[in-house]
Amino acid sequence: MNTVVDTRERILTTARELFHGRSYADVGIKEICDLAKVQKGSFYHFFPSKQDLAMAVIDDMAEDWAHGFVAEAFDRNLPPMERLDYMIDAAYYWQKAAKDIEGRMPGCLFGNLALEVSTRDEVLRAKLNAVFQKASSQFHETLDEAIEQGQIAPLDAQATSQAMLAFLEGIILLAKTRNDPEVIRTLGPAIKTLRVELPMEN
């Protein structure tokens, strides 16, 4: 294995796990280096600052999401509204697996970071906003298809897709606060009832 890639990967994986399980401010570079068995000099070679590291962690997680459970849930071969059920299921099993291992439900790394850093780091805020925009575009496509196929009545697909993403983040937030992934399974299916109506024509 390429040692350079390996070192960078080790830092990334360690940081992602710690940020996700605790918080951004709570985890120091020294701790990451110690756990990843990397010298500080080497760390700064790859990541000039903690912010650079966070940017890479977000990219890494977004990449995994896009090719992992989001790709599976938003499979074009599934009937559009069924994709939403898959997505809720995937979120539930993901959080349940994490809790089974750690004893604590970690929630959504993007949501966690967004609430923690948005008021004080404009670069990270913009990055997280872009991740959410991309995620809501998946909902948007799904809704467009569902309308086209006559499975749901026409609605404001742009706004409804954002409302659905907000709901997903909200149920994960509530589930994390209760430390109970079942909240996602109980409340999740209501995502399909959300509707922002089209503006009325005059």
**Rule CB under 8 A: which residues touch a second copy?**
21-23, 25-26, 102, 104-107, 111-112, 114-120, 125, 128-129, 132, 159-160, 162-163, 165-171, 173-174, 176-179, 183, 186-187, 189-190, 193-196
- When the beta carbons of 73 and 128 are compared against a second copy, the nearer one is 128
- When the beta carbons of 7 and 136 are compared against a second copy, the nearer one is 136
- When the beta carbons of 39 and 129 are compared against a second copy, the nearer one is 129
- Of the candidates 197, 196, 190, 199, which has an alpha carbon nearest to the alpha carbon of residue 170? 190
Residue 79 gets the label, from left (phi > 0), alpha (psi -120 to 50) or beta, of beta
* Residue 3: CB minimum distance to a second copy, A: 33
* CB distance 125 to 114 below 8 Å: yes
* CB distance 113 to 126 below 8 Å: no
Please identify which residue in the block is written with the tokens 């589930």.
175
* Residue 109: CB minimum distance to a second copy, A: 10
Counts of helices then strands in the chain (DSSP H, E): 10, 0
- When the beta carbons of 94 and 167 are compared against a second copy, the nearer one is 167
Residues near 96 by beta carbon (within 8 Å), at least 6 away in sequence: 181
* Residue 98: CB minimum distance to a second copy, A: 10
* Separation between Cα atoms, residue 91 and residue 159, nearest integer Å: 22
* Residue 50: CB minimum distance to a second copy, A: 13
* Residue 198: CB minimum distance to a second copy, A: 13
- When the beta carbons of 70 and 155 are compared against a second copy, the nearer one is 155
DSSP assigned state of 188: G
